Chain A
């Protein structure tokens, strides 16, 4: 299994809603990542989990809350989002954190629209 699976693929939520994005990998990777990508821009790193511990938070607003229940799962909890948070949210994993020669494997993303 060489995939990173993200659910849901599409999500529309109101500014007062609470929702969660889910990411799962079964490659035995020990580092997992959340990225945000706006149209025609490169992915922007949000969070890094390494060995199930949060190792990087790129000054992301608290309305985004990551969670890593175990080494295969990564969640992103969303609350009180703004329309400008609408974007493609990508999960990725790698064998371990840092400069890994095999790069990252990305999930297909969740396309989020905040109304």
Chain B
């Protein structure tokens, strides 16, 4: 079983729509959780950390469910600039584990 699994998508949504996707992780001892955004041929950039109580940053909401070992990302009022691959990242004891990414395409 992979350490971090994501639905690869693609999620094709119109501007203004809401899109949400999940990621599951296998290591119940994982401590830190992140969503990174990666544009084509660019480096990953931290979008947001994910906290136990859930957290919001503008149009982005992240949730953590430790019991079921998944995290989620919800994007409201999608913009064309939200088109990217979203990487779910889980920090174990000594290193980060990356999901394969979920591709989101927002169309006009």
Residues of A within 8 A of B (CB): 41-43, 45, 48, 55-56, 88, 90, 97-109, 111
Contact = CB atoms under 8 A, between A and B. Distances in A.
B98 to A, nearest CB: 4
A109 B43 CA distance: 6
B17 interface: no
Contacts of A103: 32, 34, 36, 46, 49, 89, 91, 96
Contact of B91 (A42, A99, A106): A99
Contacts of B91: 98-100, 103
- With most chain A CB atoms within 10 A of its CB, the pick from B31, B36, B94 is B94
B89 A106 contact: no
A104 B96 contact: yes
Interface of B: 30-32, 34, 36, 41-46, 49, 87, 89, 91-96, 98-101
Contact of B31 (A41, A42, A99): A99
Given A99-B32, A105-B46, A42 B93 contact: no
B94 A48 contact: yes
A42 B36 CA distance: 11
B95 A56 contact: yes
8 contacts: A42-B100, A43-B98, A48-B95, A88-B43, A99-B30, A99-B31, A99-B32, A106-B44
B73 to A, nearest CB: 15
Contacts of A106: 43-45
Contacts of B87: 42
Given A56-B94, A99-B91, 8 more contacts: A42-B98, A45-B95, A55-B94, A97-B94, A99-B32, A100-B32, A102-B49, A103-B46
